[in-house]
Structure 1
């Protein structure tokens, strides 16, 4: 459901008691955490209990499991997830009561008010880049407030209130939310067609990023990874608007470059060249060339804010990842199990390259759960083609998210497009069946990688349990 953004968004401190429908989700939970840290009374509801719900309760929120109209009694402001439907009883009651109702984007804008915002956007890599920017600024002593679309592995949280005027935020383009914010500085990692169920056309989607650049403060700046053509195109937009543009990447045209890149096992190292100056070498604890680009963009923001390379480097090198982004789940019977959020063909391809590096001499055994009917309809065959980089592939049925089932668009659409022998590809319906197939196919030395933005993240622990049982 899309709730209109009000013309005037109040600062969080003026919202009164705030209730979140869908508070357990990545976006709303982050906003709620910042509000709780500022002493704002917060309540919320979610469809199921979870570790996030438990954590929010510990931090002072009143959280209900299930949705009842009475749960908005005494509430001043309602903040709504896009996954909520119009017949949600709490939303219906809020409308009847005439409560102030904000979409997620307006809720985030309310806690940004009065801060110098550093917004990270892009089709892929937003969460990792936001996380890298956060930890590097923390290491430099900048103490930013931050909201991230995933939990930092080191801290176990997706948001925190900082003591400085900086606010680091993941800026989501999926529903146009990033056009609500007013950043001082921004990062665009890449621009590649996605979320066409919301934007309609690729042209409209790309125009959204141009509009995002137009939201930058006059004295602010844009950092873009110019190895990506869509992000590189924003140079002309920034210059036409009189905004500073800093291109980063491996290209010789980049203002800040990553050179001598070495990908080895679970690490990625590179040397940073800023203009004509070689600044030094950075070794990340995360594998993959795309993560080098993310780290370079985060580093560049810190450098342009005036922080030292050495301190920013220390933060980047301390980063141990974000949950659901090439996250190690464990090892059993000589098989390593990782999980990642990749759900777009480019993300899948990038994580398979990373997985191959981590696997070493072992095979890459992958389970993929397509996310959303509309995305699978558009990109399903391409998803299947890129999955061909694995040695064994298990494809689950489509995770519906906020959409309805379509019998013409299933996981089989993806599985049929995987260019591997039939005995190395299988289509399954559910999580248990996927875990059984992965455990059956994996051998000692192999890497099992689960991919997707839905419930496939639950499969890794199931695989490990089956492998441990088989060992006994």
Structure 2
């Protein structure tokens, strides 16, 4: 897809502030299309798009699409949205986000990263590796890369690297040359008839969208991924800790926040790697990127250099500040974890790095449906911290579900653990509460996929009594 297309000029994005939508909008803008969009609120993302020259409407109104010739709609936007209804009425074509991504991928060498967890990190690692190898990729990522303040870029090379979102089955629109499956977990099952088996079939169909000479890169450590391997009729490269993995890791050494390990292909030593990404889950994400780098004949020194230089992604184990508080110096970590598996991975990574530190956690549940479906798993995961504060559920546009709320989750954690968790219905009170309970050298962790990231940034300023100092070891 390029600007030579004369079928439409003005493309309107409904929900343009979303992580996936904003990236595609930016790429289309850089291709020369006239791009505009609307969202319920103005954010750092919409402000950045506006500075690029993309017109942003605050709120959804039918007047916003008067000049539009094509609508791109986020799956997070309800189908009864006034702009979508008006587009149908006046016969403006409507595309899903993934359909537009598929159009961008159609004439490029597509690398699509799928999986319940780890998509953003793995996509970023691969994009960074291709860039380090002077392959000038186009990428669309679900989070901002540190140092670039962007989640998308239009490159001149043949590669397009993007996340493949399984949440609404829309990843089935994509037809990449290489597909990655990081894991398959119990999430978004409402799109799959509430069946994990149907979800696994969705991933099989996604892989079978590959051309005959395509390749799937799959994490063999994951039980659900392992269970579908014999149903795949494309070339597969497996990776992981498992001794059956083709790309395998051995001799892991943790050095503070960094992790060093050796990479083998079957039993042949390939690489010595030092990664700045903490946690076993990030070793797996790194292995996926290495597998693709090797497949694309990227030189080993480039692979190592790209991993050493990788600066991370916004809200993925982000040590935002080391704060001098009234009670002493603490570390503040912000993470996007919003599923029990992700929470476990984040907690385990913190325990590996700082085994003797007290872990204070502020959790903002994301979606009523997820809280309901994974309630017991959330209770188990959250019970592993030392002090817990739970905020109101971030609805993400969902309607409340009777009996599912943060109070009931707080109560369940209290009954099943030794913790005395706090339910916080007013997030503005958080600094006041924390000042009463913080100890020197505490690790303060904010987790969730909603507005908790902004709260974390504000805590840096509301808790500190002096300018932040260097990382506390």
**2:159: which partner in 1?**
166
- CA deviations 1:310-351 (Å, max 9, x no partner) are 101211111111111111111212111111111111100000
Q: Contact 2:253–2:259 at 8 Å: present in 1 too? A: yes
**2:374: which partner in 1?**
379
| 1:193 to partner: Cα distance | 1.5
Runs of 4+ in 1 over 6 A off after TM superposition: none
Q: Contact 1:364–1:392 at 8 Å: present in 2 too? A: yes
SS, match of residue 143 in structure 2: coil
After superposition, where does 1:191-270 map in structure 2 within 5 Å? 191-200=184-193, 201-238=195-232, 241=233, 243-270=234-261
SS, match of residue 455 in structure 2: helix
**1:420: which partner in 2?**
417
From the superposition, tell whether residues 146 and 280 of structure 1 become closer, same or farther in structure 2 (CA, over 3 Å): same
2:180 to 173, 180, 187: 187
Q: Contact 1:18–1:76 at 8 Å: present in 2 too? A: yes
Matched, 1:410 2:444: no
1:359 to 351, 354, 357: 354
- CA deviations 1:375-416 (Å, max 9, x no partner) are 111112211211122111111121111310124101133323
CA distance in 1, matches of 2:241, 2:14: 43
CA distance in 2, matches of 1:367, 1:170: 28
| 1:449 to partner: Cα distance | 0.7
Q: Contact 2:431–2:463 at 8 Å: present in 1 too? A: no
Matched, 1:345 2:340: yes
**1:7: which partner in 2?**
none
After superposition, where does 1:131-146 map in structure 2 within 5 Å? 131-146=124-139
CA distance in 2, matches of 1:223, 1:371: 29
1:448 to 435, 444, 448: 444
**1:303: which partner in 2?**
294
Q: Contact 1:11–1:110 at 8 Å: present in 2 too? A: no
Q: Contact 1:179–1:215 at 8 Å: present in 2 too? A: yes
TM-score under structure 2 normalisation? Answer: 0.93
**2:141: which partner in 1?**
148
| 1:198 to partner: Cα distance | 2.1
Q: Contact 2:138–2:161 at 8 Å: present in 1 too? A: yes
From the superposition, tell whether residues 286 and 103 of structure 1 become closer, same or farther in structure 2 (CA, over 3 Å): same
**2:271: which partner in 1?**
280
| 1:302 to partner: Cα distance | 1.2
Q: Contact 1:23–1:46 at 8 Å: present in 2 too? A: yes
CA distance in 1, matches of 2:253, 2:434: 30
CA distance in 2, matches of 1:15, 1:212: 29
**1:465: which partner in 2?**
461
**1:3: which partner in 2?**
none
**2:388: which partner in 1?**
393
Unaligned runs of 5+ in 1: 1-9
**2:304: which partner in 1?**
313
CA distance in 2, matches of 1:156, 1:281: 30
Q: Contact 1:224–1:247 at 8 Å: present in 2 too? A: yes
CA distance in 2, matches of 1:225, 1:47: 37
**2:470: which partner in 1?**
none
- CA deviations 1:171-200 (Å, max 9, x no partner) are 010011111100100111111121122222
| 1:367 to partner: Cα distance | 0.9
| 1:168 to partner: Cα distance | 0.4
1:114 to 107, 115, 128: 107
CA distance in 1, matches of 2:298, 2:228: 25
Matched, 1:332 2:323: yes
SS, match of residue 415 in structure 1: helix
Q: Contact 2:183–2:219 at 8 Å: present in 1 too? A: yes
Q: Contact 2:315–2:336 at 8 Å: present in 1 too? A: yes
CA distance in 1, matches of 2:284, 2:156: 28
Matched, 1:56 2:49: yes
The number of residue pairs the alignment matches comes to 459
| 1:207 to partner: Cα distance | 1.2
CA distance in 2, matches of 1:271, 1:391: 33
| 1:63 to partner: Cα distance | 1.0
Q: Contact 1:119–1:183 at 8 Å: present in 2 too? A: yes
Aligned-residue CA RMSD (Å): 1.8
SS, match of residue 243 in structure 2: coil
TM-score under structure 1 normalisation? Answer: 0.93
**1:70: which partner in 2?**
63
From the superposition, tell whether residues 357 and 459 of structure 1 become closer, same or farther in structure 2 (CA, over 3 Å): farther
Unaligned runs of 5+ in 2: 468-473
Q: Contact 1:431–1:456 at 8 Å: present in 2 too? A: no
Q: Contact 2:200–2:228 at 8 Å: present in 1 too? A: no
| 1:360 to partner: Cα distance | 4.5
CA distance in 2, matches of 1:84, 1:36: 22
